[in-house]
Amino acid sequence: MKINIGKLSITLQKNSNNSNSALEKDWYDKDYELYKRTSKNNSVFPLYKNYPCLNDRDKSAGFINNPYFPQDYYVAKKIFDKNPLKHVDIGSRIDGFVAHVAIFRKIEVFDIRPMDYQIPNIIFKQADLTNETSIPTNYCDSISCLHALEHFGLGRYGDHIDPDGHLKGFEQITRILKPGGVFYFSVPMGIQRIEFNAHRIFGMPYLINWVSKDYTISSFAYIDDSCILHKEVILDNKNTHNSFECNHGCAIFELIKK
- Give SS3 for 15: coil
Q: Catalogue all structural domains in the chain, each as residue range(s) with its CATH number.
A: 1-59 (no CATH), 68-257 (3.40.50.150)
Splitting the chain (258 residues) into consecutive groups of 10 residues, what average pLDDT does each group show? 38 44 79 89 83 87 85 98 98 97 98 95 95 92 98 96 97 97 98 98 98 98 96 94 97 98
CA-to-CA dists, residue 136 to 127, 174, 200, 233, 246, angstroms: 13, 11, 28, 34, 37
* pLDDT at site 6: 39
The model's pTM is: 0.85
Phi, psi torsion values for 137, nearest 5 degrees: -65, 145
Rounded CA gap, 234 and 250, in Å?
Answer: 15
**What one-character DSSP code corresponds to residue 131?**
G
* pLDDT at site 10: 37
* pLDDT at site 42: 75
Tell me, what amino acid is at 251?
A: A
* pLDDT at site 3: 37
* pLDDT at site 56: 86
**What one-character DSSP code corresponds to residue 13?**
P
Maximum alpha-carbon separation in the chain: 72
On the CB side of 187, how many CA atoms lie within 13 Å of its CA?
A: 28
195 with 248: CB under 8 angstroms?
Answer: no
Geometric angle at alpha carbon 142, from 163 and 82, rounded to 5°: 140
Assign residue 141 a region: left if phi > 0, alpha if psi is -120 to 50, beta otherwise? alpha
